[in-house]
Structure 1
Amino acid sequence: MALRSARTAVLALAVVAAGCSTGGHGRVAAPPAVSPSAPAAGGGTVSATPSPGSSDELRVIRPRGTPSPRPYGRWGRPVLYDDFGGARLDPRKWQVYDAPNARSHPGSPAGVHVADGRLRLVGGLYGGRDQSAGVVSRLAQTYGRWEARIRADRGSGYSATAFLWPTRLGSPEWAEIDFAEIIDGTRRTGGLFIHHGAQDRQLSKIARVDFTRWHTVAVDWLPAKLRFWVDGEVVWDYQGPYVPKQADMHLNLRNETADGFHRMASTPQRVTMEVDWVRVFRAPAGRR
């Protein structure tokens, strides 16, 4: 559902514009780590998307508050933490998505703002054209836990997303993990997606959550399992052949427009996705 083939080329373009290099066809070279302690590091489609009212439909309503960067249970201390408390985006931790002229998934740096302790990704009409707004973590790692507290304004044609994307798609493997892909213009549902393989095989679930309100989304990625969370509740455990085994993943936060996403008469000129905080952990010792 994430239109991966189009994202591949545009992500490479965006990182080049931010000052990083690419290696090979549509592959993004690894950016510098966020800190010395952070790691530098056959066809067809399978869909597990449930229909409304089915037993696979997910219902989660319990909110959580803002965390501190202290050690967190078995996951230890975060290797990336940001509560967006400054006056601007921290360039040691993030790169801005910059691809305003891309044919698919265009994105403008003009939509990225930090104020009042929040990251605001403002997609909308810039120069008469719909543009995404997003950031990419400089930290990449294989296995771990990613958390973000997010909300999104209503607006058809925009998808509020939190997803993991490899440094080099297809080398050593094809993989993508979306732990929030809020395509629904009303923001009453959010998609969870696992993408695997050159043919972009997919598994998915739908969480029935009102994302106009604040919710904490998270994913645990371990060698044999993906576990998805909303507001501290496990909403999907997956153990199977689509679990990535080798890729080093960057966190992407993006308020996204793309081919197939269509503005309606009711869509505001600007549509905002907000991020309150982000935490990233390494996998516990013995689980990497």
Structure 2
Amino acid sequence: MGSHAAPHEHVSKRILLMSVGLALVAVLLGLPRADGAPAAPAAADACRSTGVSLPRGDCGPFWQVLAEDFNGDRVPLGAFSDCDHHVDTSAAYCGGLSGEFRDNWWAYPTGWRDTANSRGRDVVGVYHPEDTVSVGPAANGDGRMFVRMWRPGNGGPVHAAAVVPRAVMQMKYGKYSARIKVTKLAPGYKSAWLHYGRGCEMDHPEGEWTGSLTAFHHPCGGGEQGYFPGSDDWTEWHTVSTEWTPGNVRFFVDGRQTGHDTRKVPDHPLSWVLQNESALEGPGAAPGSSAQLDITWVAAYAYDWK
């Protein structure tokens, strides 16, 4: 995903510039990256965010502004509706939500088109938060946000979902973490969680759910992208984190640093978008199919950059 190329359409640039095998060799051996970024050491993130439980409290140069584990919360299908208010600003809200969830969450409004619409894909997506996003207990009682995307049985666009934590909309720098798992897999669905705007883009995690979990950095104003493999399997629980500080962006999976780039890193406020959409590679979603991503916690931190 990237800047708005047309009204109600969010577009992404995805070009695979190197094989996963070569990238992994570079990481393991500490060789220089083909994209100009330094090889990623096996370093821990600032909060040591690897466990099942939601991390609480400040860590390193980051102070926590959002800590959500969804326990005890229930937001039924249909509540993420009427989201077309002050869109893409820190004042955005969904009229169908109430209480803390109205205060803390926004979603791309119904009818916005996903990235595949600009790619000539046979199967594209349209955002429908009202019938894809809910919150409640899993079978084991764990509170989760459920993102269930699906394609109607008679064909047509995939019903996609992009949710946005309001506490970190239009924030400059910070740390952004979540624990996620694809609990129902089908071809044709993907995620691209990102910060983007003004010709800059940082994506983590990104990838088709049937493929690998990766991170990308698109330097502000253009240039060769940074590509950082993180995990081969979306269907296992992973803690993913992005640390964005002046002149640096670092990506972590399960506490291990998987990427670091210093080239033209954004220095202006951006929003964190938990974007899930139709696939850009491989087969499109089959009519009548569905796939689901579970989020068991989300944490976000501001950075004291002044």
TM-score (norm 1): 0.71
Q: Letter of the aligned partner of 1:123 in structure 2? A: M
Q: Residue 164 of structure 2 corresponds to which residue in structure 1? A: 136
Q: Residue 82 of structure 2 corresponds to which residue in structure 1? A: none
Q: Residue 281 of structure 1 corresponds to which residue in structure 2? A: 301
TM-superposed CA distance for 1:135, in Å, is: 0.6
> 1:48, 1:244 → 2: CA distance?
22
TM-superposed CA distance for 1:210, in Å, is: 2.0
> 2:62, 2:174 → 1: CA distance?
11
Unaligned runs of 5+ in 2: 29-39, 43-48, 76-96, 118-124, 138-142
Q: Residue 56 of structure 1 corresponds to which residue in structure 2? A: 26
TM-superposed CA distance for 1:160, in Å, is: 2.4
Q: Residue 121 of structure 2 corresponds to which residue in structure 1? A: none
Q: Letter of the aligned partner of 2:161 in structure 1? A: A
Tell me whether 221-230 or 198-207 shows the greater mean CA deviation. Answer: 198-207
* Alignment counterpart, residue 181 of structure 1, candidates 193, 197, 206: 206
Q: Specify the SS of the correspondent of 1:177.
A: strand
Matched, 1:147 2:147: no
> 1:251, 1:177 → 2: CA distance?
10
> 1:253, 1:46 → 2: CA distance?
20
> 2:27, 2:160 → 1: CA distance?
29
What does the per-residue CA deviation read over 1:166-201, in whole Å, with 9 as the maximum and x for residues that have no partner? xxx32xxx211111002252x4x1121112345575
Contact 1:133 1:254 in 2 (8 A): yes
Alignment size in residue pairs = 239
* Alignment counterpart, residue 104 of structure 2, candidates 82, 88, 93: 93
- Residue 121 to residue 230, structure 1, CA distance change in 2 (3 Å): same
Q: Residue 111 of structure 1 corresponds to which residue in structure 2? A: 132
What does the per-residue CA deviation read over 1:78-102, in whole Å, with 9 as the maximum and x for residues that have no partner? 1122112311271211112224363
Matched, 1:250 2:275: no
TM-superposed CA distance for 1:132, in Å, is: 1.0
* Alignment counterpart, residue 8 of structure 2, candidates 10, 13, 25: 13
Contact 2:62 2:175 in 1 (8 A): no
Equivalent positions of 1:122-271 (< 5 A) are 122-126=148-152, 128-129=155-156, 130-138=158-166, 139-140=168-169, 141-152=171-182, 153-165=184-196, 169-170=197-198, 174-185=199-210, 187=211, 189-197=212-220, 201-240=224-263, 242-246=264-268, 248-257=269-278, 262-263=283-284, 269-271=289-291
Q: Specify the SS of the correspondent of 2:64.
A: coil
> 2:193, 2:134 → 1: CA distance?
17
Matched, 1:80 2:100: no
> 1:259, 1:209 → 2: CA distance?
18
TM-score (norm 2): 0.68
Q: Letter of the aligned partner of 2:176 in structure 1? A: W
> 2:63, 2:226 → 1: CA distance?
31
TM-superposed CA distance for 1:76, in Å, is: 4.9
- Residue 101 to residue 252, structure 1, CA distance change in 2 (3 Å): closer
Q: Letter of the aligned partner of 1:225 in structure 2? A: N
Unaligned runs of 5+ in 1: 15-25, 27-44
Q: Letter of the aligned partner of 2:160 in structure 1? A: S
Q: Residue 140 of structure 2 corresponds to which residue in structure 1? A: none
Contact 2:278 2:285 in 1 (8 A): no
What does the per-residue CA deviation read over 1:184-237, in whole Å, with 9 as the maximum and x for residues that have no partner? 52x4x1121112345575221222332201100001101121111111111112
TM-superposed CA distance for 1:239, in Å, is: 1.9
Contact 2:173 2:302 in 1 (8 A): yes
Provide the identity percentage. Answer: 23
Contact 2:194 2:202 in 1 (8 A): yes
Q: Residue 33 of structure 2 corresponds to which residue in structure 1? A: none
Runs of 4+ residues deviating >6 angstroms? none
TM-superposed CA distance for 1:164, in Å, is: 1.8
Q: Specify the SS of the correspondent of 2:60.
A: helix
> 2:239, 2:195 → 1: CA distance?
16
